Structure 1
Amino acid sequence: MADITIRGAGIFGLSIAWACIRRGAHVTVIDPNGPGAGSSGGVVGALAPHVPENWNAKKAFQLESLLMAEPFWAEVEEVGGIPSGYARSGRLQPILDAKGLELARQRAISSAALWGNQAKWSVNQADGAPWAPLSPTGWLIRDTLSAHLHPRTACNALVSALSAKGVTIQSNGPDAGAVIWATGTAGLEALNRRHHRMVGNGVKGQAAVLQFDAGAAPQIFADGVHVIPHSDGTVAVGSTSERDYEDPGTTDAQLDGVIERARAAVPVLKDAAVIHRWAGVRPRARSRAPMLGHWPDRPGHFVANGGFKIGFGMAPKIAEVMADLVLEDRNQIPDGFEVKASF
């Protein structure tokens, strides 16, 4: 039985622990702040695809991961007995002008080639339903690949599933066996110190939770804002992207702007009360893609970092390729994701 130490109990660390324990490894997860304490403890949880055009390895990897998500979370929920909040209910986007309408129709064609029969991107006339974004053209994009979950709930579901397999999250402890560093912004800063230029940095995001029960409605992306209906009768809206900030855990007027844009785009939210405001720092690699693989100058150590805005969507596939690498020495990581590509 292989010994694996995972440092970091965010979505990457917990998902990789799950993949490794399923393959029979002995896993220790260490995080001094506890599970989901960083950006993985957010509130939005949009699992949305890149547009189906200019296809590349990152988009193909993401497609595979989004398709893996439903069985991944179903098994986690079954073993741990706690819901993750996962739902593949699709996404609506307003089309702003004639040029956007033509582009959306072109993407409907390309999605059929790139996504096959696994998901659909379609252009539809708005039908006046209350849960829909305002559209200047009267047309909406609907894709069936997008899904969502509640980040905190999902992390708790993984913790419960791991606990059922005998794994608890420890606040400290020694390394045993291979060590996987999934430590978010702190991990990027550690890599920066060992390299001649910046490998990555933290980007602050702010989001809010509104009291509104949209049921099993699709998520909405409008005016740069994600609007996510959660199964607990709330709607999350977000987020900002701030490279310059003083207090990473404090919300401010920038979040007020996000809430206003969400209400303007989705009028049914006009009077929904704000019940929670959240701010945190997300790890962004210089390449904007996840950073995976061997730590270049530390034998036996590995990196899984840089989830930024797509960490939860990428997690099911990242967990498997990291387990392949660490347990079986099989490297299935796309070239653009490998840590060595950033050094």
Structure 2
Amino acid sequence: MVDVTVRGAGIFGLSIAWTCARRGARVQVVDPFGPGAGSSGGLVGALAPHVPENWNAKKAFQFESLIMAEPFWTQIEATGGVSPGYARLGRLQPIADARGLDLARLREQTAATLWQRQADWTVMAVDQVGAWCPPSPTGFVIHDTLSARMHPRRACAALVAALAVMGVEVAADAPDKGRVVHATGLAGLRELSTAFGKTVGNGVKGQAALLRFDAGAVPQLFADAVHIVPHADGTLAIGSTSEREYEDASSTDAALDDVLDRAMRAVPVLHGAEVIERWAGVRPRSKSRAPMLGAHPLHKGQFIANGGFKIGFGMAPKVAEVMADLMLDGRDTIPQEFLPQASL
């Protein structure tokens, strides 16, 4: 068996550890702050695709990962007994104007090809959708069946539980053993930026809120640039901001108040729902805006998996697969656009 050390217990690190352990590797996960301590410990959990047009390696990779997600999370829950709150329930998006409606109908056609008929992107009249549908200026919404939801913290907990059954624990400190992958988020991007004397990646602050509102098994919504995600535990997440400049990474403020106001306007039934948590954190974004996967630029013979900005949970199943292929089998299937050189 091969020894693997995963440094970082966010969604990339835990998913890579799980896939490597499933393939027979002896795995240890090391994170001084514990699992899901950074941006992976957020609230929203909107696993949503890019629009089905101008196809590229990033969109194709994300599509494959979203298709992989259901068996990936089903196996994790079956192993560890903890639910990640995953469900592929789709997404509804109001269409603002006539130009947006024309674009949505064009994408309806391209999705049939690019999504290989494994999911649909459909333009529907509001009265076809039901009571959960948000108001739409055109009277039409986009309904895609590829989007899924999960609760980020519960997903991390589900991975930790499944890994424990496989004999893998998350340690605060341990020496490297075998093949090492750094999935250390913002700290890892800062290390690279310092070493190369330029910005290789940075952190983007996000703010989100959790409401006590049981919407049931309904699609998530994307309205007025806000994600509205009903969770399986009777809560509903709203987010998030994208702040490049900030003083306090962990505080919430008027920017979140604005997000909540926009969500209430888009979905009036949410008025009066109790806000049970406000959250802020910093998400790691590489310079290329794509995940950084492959050989580590600083640590010879080691690997990197970083930069899951906004799409980390959706990308995780496929990221784990290609990193396990590389580390365990020496098989490199990582898109060129994801190699660290793209951000250096």
Give TM-score scaled by structure 2 length.
0.98
Partner of 1:15: 15
Report % sequence identity: 66
Separation of aligned partners in 1, 2:262 and 2:91 = 17
Question: Would you say the 8 A contact 2:241–2:259 is kept in 1?
Answer: yes
Deviation at 1:63, TM superposition (A): 0.3
Shift of 1:211: 1.0
Provide the C-alpha distance between the structure 2 equivalents of 1:259 and 1:132, rounded to a whole number of angstroms: 18
For residues 225-249 of structure 1, give each alpha carbon's deviation from its aligned partner in whole angstroms, at most 9, with x where no partner exists.
0000001111100000111111111
Aligned ranges for residues 60-71 of structure 1 at < 5 Å?
60-71=60-71
Question: Which structure 1 residue ranges, 4+ long, deviate > 2 Å from structure 2?
Answer: 340-343
Q: Report the AA paired with residue 280 of structure 2.
A: A
> How many angstroms apart in 2 are the aligned matches of 1:225 and 1:236?
10
- Distance of 1:161 and 1:323 partners within structure 2: 17
Q: Which amino acid aligns with 1:279?
A: A
Task: Name the counterpart of 1:269.
Answer: 270
Match of 1:98 in 2: 98
2:76 matched to 1:82?
no
Contact map agreement 1:38 1:281 (CA 8 A) in 2: yes
Deviation at 1:272, TM superposition (A): 1.0
Deviation at 1:297, TM superposition (A): 3.8
Q: What is the DSSP-based 3-state SS (H/G/I as helix, E as strand, rest coil) of the residue aligned with 2:63?
A: helix
- Conservation of the 8 A alpha-carbon contact between 1:130 and 1:268: no
Maintained 8 Å contact 1:225/1:237: yes
Partner Cα separation in structure 1 for residue 103 and residue 340 of structure 2: 35
In the TM superposition, what are the counterparts of 1:24-35 in structure 2 within 5 Å? 24-35=24-35
The runs of 5 or more residues in structure 1 that have no matched partner are none
Aligned letter for 2:332?
A: N
2:244 paired residue number: 243
| Partners of 1:208 and 1:57 in 2: CA distance | 32
> Is 1:314 the equivalent of 2:315?
yes
| Paired position in structure 1 for 2:342 | 341
Change (3 A) 1:234 1:297: closer
Q: Which aligned pairs between 1:194-273 and structure 2 lie closer than 5 A?
A: 194-273=195-274
SS at match of 2:40: helix
Aligned mates of 2:297, 2:202 — CA distance in 1: 18
Amino acid at match of 2:163: L
Cα shift at 1:342 = 2.2
CA displacement 1:221-276 (0-9 Å, x = unmatched): 01010000001111100000111111111101100000000010011111211111
> Aligned with 2:117: secondary structure?
helix
Shift of 1:115: 0.6
- Alignment match, 2:43: 43
Aligned length: 343
Contact 2:201–2:343 (CA under 8 A) maintained in structure 1: no
Equivalent positions of 1:54-65 (< 5 A) are 54-65=54-65
Q: Distance in 2 between matches of 1:101 and 1:25?
A: 50
The answer to whether the Cα contact below 8 Å between 2:210 and 2:236 also exists between their aligned partners in 1 is: yes
**What is the CA distance between 1:341 and its match in structure 2?**
2.5
CA contact (8 A) 2:288 2:342 kept: no
Q: How far has the Cα of 1:129 moved from its partner?
A: 3.0
Shift of 1:340: 2.3
Contact 2:87/2:150 (<8 A) preserved:
yes
CA distance in 2, matches of 1:142, 1:229: 16
**Equivalent position amino acid for 2:2 in 1:** A
Kindly provide the CA deviation profile for residues 142-183 of structure 1, in whole angstroms up to 9, marking residues without a partner as x.
000000100000000000000000001000011111110000
Q: Is the CA contact (8 Å cut-off) linking 1:43 and 1:207 kept in structure 2? A: yes
Q: TM-score, normalised by structure 1?
A: 0.99
